Structure 1
């Protein structure tokens, strides 16, 4: 049997764990060349310039996770990293004192920045980065354009998403999220083609607003999802009425969406009604919401969603693939 062609839209820690689960599910099926089967379209709305180097937090989190070198306790950065260079940079008054970069992580940013200065696109840089480790997946940025997420907080002050998220821990009430330049952006090479040729498209249990939202906002991505023959299956980032990690509830409230599995499903919408989903995986704790999801034109499926270890992450991914019939 040929390996299914899988596209995952992902960002953040939840996205990293889910992508690992998809790769694990493919390996459990006996598929050795998972890189030929699995394409991950990664959010780049979190990206920023800092101290003259280009940071891509979601790209790096997923890359490090697939390479097995990520810091699983913090959820970001490299395992066993040190912060000597970061301390020296901040001693010079550069960077952000509340935004820590590990030395190994800085090595990644320096390499990326050098390649960008040499004229490579972000997609070409990511392809070069992926050659260092056997990731078992093809990674694509959502776009080559710089569309960094800005947060307009109560009172009209605008700041980069990373400042709002890391420095202020999402305590400043957001009025809205913006991605300047998004209207002129286009999907990175390979993104639309991967969606068109997929056997299934999976929406990872990532932050719906600032991880999945920017991917869907890239002009052309929604059209690709609307026209692909592949079923689109989403996994709820809400379990038992609560976010699993981070401050996604604050983000959802800012766009008028309740923190519930059914509300997030409605936010994405049914493909049959101009949205993006055909099916939606709900946690066992939210099984009572299945009828509400079905009423929105989205096929509900109930499964264990906690990704507490590799086996559970693979089981969740297998359930998502099963929901698509692949």
Structure 2
């Protein structure tokens, strides 16, 4: 069985860790992840890829579980020097080990290697048990539209903590982008496709915005199911509520599913998992053509994470058996 996950960041990483644990317990599962690249940006001449690196470090077991980002056992001497020279913003600190990743990535890009090839090289260092693919090989950095103009998503997210009201989100050069070959194959050849509990607007949204990506999902032979990152009307992590408000979507499990839409009605979802606290959303979403189940969504340990992965697969299988 080939399972393809779409997403990025910590929420996606935690779900994929659970899926990998489930795969280790049952066997016979190949995992691909189509990763959001629109969080990427240039700092001090280096290409930074936060969503990819959150997945890479978590799967490698070298992530900082306390901060929730970057490498464990870090030092920050180089970042302090970069800030002293005025080449890096003081609000965006990168650890020395993390900078090693960014230097390697940038060196390969400068040599003309594609983002897909960079993913392959970075992923070959550790036995991840998962294959990571960029959603696109093009640069599609997200810009946040504010009353004062456009700023890079990282400045809005990290420096301002989303306190500046956003009027919208735009990916640069998105019209010229296309799905990477790896992303395309992962979707076309999948037996199950899962939208991770990632930020619907700035992690999943940019992947879906790549021209041709929605068509790939709508035409996929595999069922497409999603896992809500909203539990009991609140975000699990981060500031997705500010992002949802900017596009006029309520912060609720039901509203996010409706935002994605039922595949039978031109959207992308066949199924949707909500938390048991959001059980009231089940019947309204089923009435719209989205098979919905309420299960525990909190990823507390290896067992609960593996169970959630199992729930997602079972929901997908139930849809496939009815196709």
TM-score (norm 2): 0.97
SS at match of 1:325: helix
Alignment match, 2:177: 185
1:161 aligns with 2:158: no
SS at match of 2:274: strand
Q: Distance in 2 between matches of 1:19 and 1:110?
A: 26
What pairs with 1:107-256 in structure 2 (closer than 5 Å)? 107-153=100-146, 155-256=147-248
The answer for unaligned runs of 5 or more in structure 2 is 319-323
Alignment match, 1:48: 41
The answer to whether the 8 Å contact 1:45/1:147 transfers is yes
The answer to whether the 8 Å contact 1:45/1:149 transfers is yes
1:28 aligns with 2:22: no
CA shift for structure 1 position 308:
1.9
Alignment match, 2:83: 90
The answer to which of 289-298 and 255-264 deviates more is 289-298
SS at match of 2:184: helix
The answer for unaligned runs of 5 or more in structure 1 is none
SS at match of 1:49: strand
CA shift for structure 1 position 296:
2.0
Listed one character per residue, the Cα deviations across residues 104-149 of structure 1 (whole Å, up to 9, x for unaligned) are 0000000000000111001000101111000001100000000000
Q: Distance in 2 between matches of 1:114 and 1:161?
A: 24
Alignment match, 2:321: none
TM-score (norm 1): 0.96
CA shift for structure 1 position 12:
1.1
Q: Distance in 1 between matches of 2:233 and 2:198?
A: 15
Q: Distance in 1 between matches of 2:159 and 2:182?
A: 35
Alignment match, 1:99: 92
CA shift for structure 1 position 272:
0.4
Listed one character per residue, the Cα deviations across residues 148-207 of structure 1 (whole Å, up to 9, x for unaligned) are 000011x24110000000000000000000001001101111211221111000000000
Alignment match, 1:76: 69
Aligned residue pair count: 318
Which runs of structure 1 show a deviation greater than 3 angstroms over 4 or more consecutive aligned residues?
none
Alignment match, 1:14: 11
The answer to whether the 8 Å contact 1:174/1:254 transfers is yes
The answer to whether the 8 Å contact 1:192/1:220 transfers is no
1:67 aligns with 2:64: no
The answer to which of 166-175 and 305-314 deviates more is 305-314
Q: Distance in 1 between matches of 2:168 and 2:129?
A: 36
Q: Distance in 2 between matches of 1:64 and 1:80?
A: 12
The answer to whether the 8 Å contact 2:116/2:182 transfers is no
The answer to whether the 8 Å contact 2:75/2:95 transfers is yes
SS at match of 1:209: helix
CA shift for structure 1 position 310:
2.1
SS at match of 1:18: helix
SS at match of 2:133: strand
Instruction: Decide which of 233, 238, 252 is 1:260's aligned counterpart.
Output: 252
The answer to which of 231-240 and 293-302 deviates more is 293-302
Alignment match, 1:294: 286
SS at match of 2:201: coil
CA shift for structure 1 position 295:
2.2
The answer to whether the 8 Å contact 1:11/1:43 transfers is yes
Q: Distance in 1 between matches of 2:288 and 2:33?
A: 27
